[in-house]
Amino acid sequence: MHTASAAILEALVEAGVEYLFANFGSDHPGLIEAIAQARAANRACPKVITAPTEMVAMSAAHGFAQARGRAQAVLVHVDCGTQALGGAVHNAAKGRVPVLIIAGMSPATQEGEARGSRNEFIQWIQDVPDQRGLVRGYVRYENEIRLGANAKQIVHRALQFAHSDPCGPVYVTAPREVLESEVPEVAIDVRRWQPLAPRALDPEAAREIAGALAGAEHPLIVTSYAGRSRAAVAELVSLAETFAAGVIESVPSYVNFPTDHAAYLGVQWNERRQNAALARADVVLVLDSDVPWIGEVSRPRDGARIFHVDADPLKQQMPLWYIGASLQCQADVALAARQIRAAAEEFQGDPERIERRLRELAVEHAAWTAQVGARESAGEKLTAEYLVACLRDAIGEDAIVVSESVTNFHVVSQHLRRTRPGTLFSSGGGSLGYNGGAAVGVKLAQPDALVVAICGDGSYLFSQPSTVHWMARRYEAPFLHIVLNNGGWRAPRQAVIGVHPDGIAATSPDIDIHFPQPPDYAAIAAAAGGAHPETVRTVAELKPALERALRAVRNERRSAVIDAHIA
């Protein structure tokens, strides 16, 4: 018998979805049976990854999509499993990361009208008025499969949204009887269900931007997530070289530019200082960025001309957003960069001026590199800067790092000094807990890569490490997990100082953000998934611990956790 559930699995296979991160419930007998039948008949079926908690399932699909650019499927249980996805839906939405979420719904009948009709008490409890409303504010598309007959078309349509800019999560539901229903076979030609073709710039806009960059004294490119496409990184390098423009990253969630390139002028997160390159620039080109600067702290100089090209320039899911750009365009950044470069030929710039500016950029870049390097030396205390520098040297340029380092985000960005696209990710969202699941997903996407997660101690607990490390062992996805243990949550302390610098809380030793008697973080992972545990308290202990941990990951193929007590 061919059911709607079997049709959904077939659609996933057609679309190239390799993994189904699943947390099953009473809404899923149709799917569980269809998976069993596919296996018995040796039919292709996505590999099921059992996820004991939904947040980790979603974070794994998030990491996978960042590493491989493709949506995977996450299966959850009715409204309850949808709620338990929690902030991971926010993260995928804000990060514009494609994920297909599938959720069952309580049966729609209670007298045996169709197979799947209600037969358990919980099906009355879990019948809610607006299940899809739980995620409506976040997903790019949501729909209920009302008749099994076109289940495949709905899956393909959902994936088309997920993979079309601005990409993001999509949500599809079906009541239990629909998942059980017998449906006709539907043939799909996937070539007719592709995402939207990349959008180019209006040629006039390309000309205007090229003219402004060519005529600028200090042109600057600011970007945050252009690096989600490797092609875009190469195009940005050419663009920067063509115009001798400097490049800064603001709140990056990808490697957007090689940090060893002479045009690279650094990265900024929450640091409370005016960015010098931004203050100097007379023309600023913002490419794929949600927060190119924080105006209260750092901003372009008065009179600077600002151009903005983005996959999502209106920031459709942010009620308040503006940067004072005189031209804003929706376009694929790789394509746009190429167009702007091509348009530059018309503005025969002065080659000597370009040469001079490139030399100036190289001097500035060298100063930045030296400044970063100076903070990396070993002192008395174990600092995050020293730790990240040692990590960089130990893991090499090809290792893939996911970072949820919160008040140390900038330290990780600066001192890892990534040179290759696709080797450093952060979630792009603000709901802590992405790190561990994302690392598992990245490892599944790139099994040959060394994968590292680096996170705050608070973020380690948010990530549900017992689930993460059970999954890492069960599905042979070992990774190195580094906990920046600063005794709790530092971010709320910085927030209170930012708003009430002279208040009582600013200097109070206890404002309920510390974790006295902290958990043994490494032991949690050892207990849950046999991870190799390390606790590091001093500079001297760090390198040997890193060596042992990397041996465990590389040679013994098991995860390792380093609980690093930093100053």
Ligand X SMILES: Cc1ncc(C[n+]2csc(CCOP(=O)(O)OP(=O)(O)O)c2C)c(N)n1
Q: Which residues pair with 563 in a beta bridge?
A: 483, 535
Closest approach of Mg ion to the CB of residue 57, in Å? 25
Cβ proximity to ligand X: between 72 and 463 the closer is 463
Whether the CB-CB separation of 33 and 20 falls below 8 Å is answered with no
Q: Which of 333, 489, 552, 560 binds ligand X (CB under 6 A)?
A: 489
Closest approach of Mg ion to the CB of residue 566, in Å? 9
Q: Choosing among ligand X, Mg ion, none, which partner's interface includes residue 432 (Cβ < 5 to 8 Å by kind)? A: ligand X
Burial grade of 248 (CB within 10 A; 0-12, 13-18, 19 or more): buried
Rounded Cα distance between 194 and 199, Å, is: 14
Rounded Cα distance between 71 and 100, Å, is: 6
Whether the CB-CB separation of 224 and 248 falls below 8 Å is answered with no
Closest approach of Mg ion to the CB of residue 486, in Å? 4
Closest approach of ligand X to the CB of residue 491, in Å? 3
Closest approach of ligand X to the CB of residue 523, in Å? 18
- Decide if residue 457 touches ligand X (CB under 6 A): yes
Closest approach of ligand X to the CB of residue 50, in Å? 24
**Which region holds residue 488: left if phi is over 0, alpha if psi is between -120 and 50, else beta?**
left
Of all residues in the shown chain, the one whose CB is closest to Mg ion is 456
Closest approach of ligand X to the CB of residue 412, in Å? 11
| Residues within the interface to Mg ion (CB under 5 A) | 456-458, 486
Whether the CB-CB separation of 286 and 307 falls below 8 Å is answered with yes
Of all residues in the shown chain, the one whose CB is closest to ligand X is 456
Q: Which one, of 517, 458, 511, 461, lies nearest residue 488 by Cα? A: 458
DSSP state letter for 257? S
Residue with tokens 């069960």: 474
Cβ proximity to ligand X: between 226 and 484 the closer is 484
Q: Choosing among Mg ion, ligand X, none, which partner's interface includes residue 87 (Cβ < 5 to 8 Å by kind)? A: ligand X
Cβ proximity to Mg ion: between 22 and 484 the closer is 484
Cβ proximity to Mg ion: between 405 and 414 the closer is 405
Q: Which of residues 417-436 bind ligand X (CB under 6 A)?
A: 430-433
Q: Which of 91, 423, 486, 559 binds ligand X (CB under 6 A)?
A: 486
Q: Which of 168, 458, 465, 533 binds ligand X (CB under 6 A)?
A: 458
Cβ proximity to Mg ion: between 275 and 427 the closer is 427
Rounded Cα distance between 163 and 156, Å, is: 11
Q: Which of 491, 497, 505, 539 binds ligand X (CB under 6 A)?
A: 491
Q: Choosing among Mg ion, ligand X, none, which partner's interface includes residue 14 (Cβ < 5 to 8 Å by kind)? A: none
Which three-class secondary structure state does DSSP give residue 464? coil
Cβ proximity to ligand X: between 262 and 406 the closer is 406
Work out the number of other CB atoms within 10 angstroms of the CB of residue 457.
24
Contacts of 521 (CB under 8 A, 6+ apart): 457, 460, 465, 483, 485, 561, 563
Cβ proximity to ligand X: between 310 and 404 the closer is 404
Q: Which one, of 388, 417, 418, lies nearest residue 405 by Cα? A: 388
Q: Which of residues 151-170 bind ligand X (CB under 6 A)?
A: none
Cα three-residue angle 288-455-536, rounded to 5 degrees:
145
Contacts of 458 (CB under 8 A, 6+ apart): 406, 432, 488, 489, 491, 515
Cβ proximity to ligand X: between 298 and 407 the closer is 407
DSSP state letter for 266? E
Write 384-390 long-range contacts (CB < 8 A, 24+): 384/408, 384/411, 384/412, 384/484, 384/566, 385/411, 385/414, 385/415, 386/539, 386/542, 387/482, 387/484, 387/542, 387/564, 387/566, 388/412, 388/414, 388/415, 388/416, 388/454, 389/415, 390/542, 390/543, 390/546
Q: Choosing among ligand X, Mg ion, none, which partner's interface includes residue 90 (Cβ < 5 to 8 Å by kind)? A: none
Selected range binding ligand X among 61-69, 464-472, 485-493, 528-536, rule: CB under 6 A = 485-493
Selected range binding ligand X among 112-120, 138-146, 206-214, 488-496, rule: CB under 6 A = 488-496
Q: Which of residues 355-414 bind ligand X (CB under 6 A)?
A: 406-408
Q: Is the omega angle on the peptide bond into residue 184 within 30 degrees of 0, that is, cis? A: no
Q: With contacts defined by CB under 6 A, how many residues of the chain interact with ligand X?
A: 17
Cβ proximity to ligand X: between 407 and 467 the closer is 407
Cβ proximity to Mg ion: between 461 and 480 the closer is 461
Closest approach of ligand X to the CB of residue 26, in Å? 28
Q: Which of 456, 478, 529, 533 binds ligand X (CB under 6 A)?
A: 456
Selected range binding ligand X among 118-126, 420-428, 455-463, 549-557, rule: CB under 6 A = 455-463
- Decide if residue 511 touches ligand X (CB under 6 A): no
Q: Which of 82, 459, 464, 559 binds ligand X (CB under 6 A)?
A: 459
- Decide if residue 496 touches ligand X (CB under 6 A): no
Q: Which of 299, 490, 532, 558 binds ligand X (CB under 6 A)?
A: 490
Amino acid at 185: E
* Binding residues for ligand X (CB under 6 A): 87, 406-408, 430-433, 456-459, 462, 486, 489-491
